[in-house]
Amino acid sequence: MEKIVSLAKRRGFVFPGSEIYGGLGSTYDYGPLGVELKNNIKREWWNYFIHQRNDMVGLDGGILLSPKVWEASGHVKNFKDALVECKKCHHRFRPDKLRRPEEVGAPTNASRLRRPEEVGAPTNASRLKDPSKCPDCGGEFTEAKLFSGMFKTVIGPIEKEGVTTYLRPETAQAIFADYKNILSSGSRKIPFGVGQIGKAFRNEVTTGNFIFRTLEFEQMEIEYFISPDDDWQKIFKGWVDYIHGFMDVVGLERKRLFDHEIPDAERAFYSKRTIDMEYEFPFGQDELWAVAYRTDYDLSKHQEYSGVNMEYLDDRTGKKYIPHVIEPTFGVDRTILAILSTAYSEEGDRTVLKLKPNIAPYKAAVFPLLANKPDLVNLAKKIYGDLKKSFYVAWDDRGNIGKRYYSQDEIGTPYCITVDFDSLESDDVTVRDRDTMKQKRVAIKELAPYLEEYCSRS
């Protein structure tokens, strides 16, 4: 983990947020290479989950939504973390687990949205002889306090008069709020789904493990609308399998993924089935993505709170109903962490990020063999300029070729293109493969199709 965090900072993937002011806990910025990697992952997700399917459309909903949305969804009431503090040593614990927050991790959306009466009820006190006492010093606990997991914000110039709303803690709700508009603006018929990528914000009491759990993060979510008469188990399984396929698209290892069936008592109350897809991260196995069957809970609640009829007339059966929903959800930042930790490798004295070429920030780097030979530099610049029209490519003329290779290996550039003296005569260049380190001559006019073939393929 330390090596990944250090490489991410040193090479411009991920920086600690507001570092010049001493940092702001659990916030991060994506640097010049990080933003490329992130955009490539999001593009592949959109392509795989929206464009390649016939039953999906996209949405870009707001971060700020009416506060009524969060009342209807249950977040205002239930999206809370409970903490108790030891009166003696002042260590804090999550009462549902009676462990320190950093040991159990923060609750997910699903585990937070439990019935209110369940919040604060100890479910795992096995570690303690006496669950009413602090496991560290035996001191008494304070009463459990609830902390909202949502960031509040005020709309309007005068705080007292403004409307208080929240930065969204999940992207999903905009899809439910827009469901009627999406339906009436297209010719969508159930079953169909809506996908969305965007920022979400959670006032996490427990953060940590780099970009695994942060206050501000990005989600890629799908709400897939079905009929209550559809075979939801089959559709659910279909999504689980389809999601597994996305691992190959972005270069994650299937053997490191575990589908964790969430038991009844731990699921959100709206969910009839939830699978957490857990990945083997360097710090252990934890949730990467999830799939939940949210039933008709959200649309029914929005119908109740907004007064807008959410029913759908199914022309297959002539029946009217409130659609049910299967929700595959993905964290962008956790996907990046999983990808970085899968791709990171050390081979002898070189560090290589074996990113799949389709998500690598640069598809190739172009070098003149010698920086002080104008003929080589001019030809290399011409190749660089031509390739840049279709691909994001790097230029490097510093130091020697070996160092340039190592530098590109570390940031995952799949191909290095070197213009040498033979190139001036024979119109070809050396292309070196990051993973095999093998080199071959490729005609200059074939470079673009070569990169197209090897880098665009997912």
Binding site for ligand GAP (CB under 6 A): 108-110, 170, 172, 202, 204, 213-214, 217, 219, 221, 287-290, 327, 329, 331, 333-334
Q: How many CA atoms lie within 13 A of 273 on its CB side?
A: 17
> For the chain, how far is it from start to end, CA to CA, in angstroms?
27
> Smaller CB distance to ligand GAP: residue 40 or 219?
219
> Smaller CB distance to ligand GAP: residue 36 or 221?
221
Instruction: State the minimum distance, in angstroms, from the CB of residue 253 to ligand GAP.
Output: 17
Q: How many CA atoms lie within 13 A of 333 on its CB side?
A: 23
Encode 309-366 in three state secondary structure. Answer: CCCEEECCCCEEECCEEEEEEEEHHHHHHHHHHHHEEEECCEEEECCCCCCCCCCEEE
> Smaller CB distance to ligand GAP: residue 214 or 423?
214
> Smaller CB distance to ligand GAP: residue 180 or 267?
267
> How far, in Å, CA of 99 to CA of 128, rounded?
9
- 192's CB contacts (< 8 A; 6+ apart) are 55, 56, 57, 224, 225
Buried residues in 43-59 as b, exposed as e (16+ CB within 10 A) = ebbbebbbeeeeebeeb
Instruction: State the minimum distance, in angstroms, from the CB of residue 328 to ligand GAP.
Output: 9
Instruction: State the minimum distance, in angstroms, from the CB of residue 303 to ligand GAP.
Output: 19
Within 10 A of 358 (CB to CB), how many other CB atoms are there? 20
Q: Which two tokens stand for residue 436?
A: 């095999």
Distance of CA 329 to the CA centre of its chain: 9
> Smaller CB distance to ligand GAP: residue 35 or 442?
35
Residue with token string 């009820």:
121
Q: How many CA atoms lie within 13 A of 148 on its CB side?
A: 15
Q: Which two tokens stand for residue 29?
A: 């910025």
> Smaller CB distance to ligand GAP: residue 96 or 287?
287
Q: What is the DSSP letter of 122?
A: -
- 109's CB contacts (< 8 A; 6+ apart) are 79, 169, 170, 268
Instruction: State the minimum distance, in angstroms, from the CB of residue 65 to ligand GAP.
Output: 14
> How far, in Å, CA of 293 to CA of 286, rounded?
20
Instruction: State the minimum distance, in angstroms, from the CB of residue 41 to ligand GAP.
Output: 12
Sign of the torsion angle spanned by Cα atoms 81, 87, 88, 90: positive
Residue nearest to ligand GAP (CB): 331
Instruction: State the minimum distance, in angstroms, from the CB of residue 14 to ligand GAP.
Output: 13
Instruction: State the minimum distance, in angstroms, from the CB of residue 274 to ligand GAP.
Output: 8
> Smaller CB distance to ligand GAP: residue 174 or 383?
174
Note the maximum CA span of the chain.
83
Asked whether 152 and 168 are in contact (CB, 8 A), the reply is no
> Smaller CB distance to ligand GAP: residue 78 or 109?
109
Q: What is the DSSP letter of 211?
A: G
Instruction: State the minimum distance, in angstroms, from the CB of residue 411 to ligand GAP.
Output: 23
> Smaller CB distance to ligand GAP: residue 342 or 418?
342
Q: Which two tokens stand for residue 389?
A: 């029209």
> Smaller CB distance to ligand GAP: residue 170 or 420?
170
Instruction: State the minimum distance, in angstroms, from the CB of residue 333 to ligand GAP.
Output: 5
Asked whether 174 and 302 are in contact (CB, 8 A), the reply is no
> Smaller CB distance to ligand GAP: residue 108 or 342?
108
Asked whether 323 and 190 are in contact (CB, 8 A), the reply is yes
> Smaller CB distance to ligand GAP: residue 170 or 428?
170
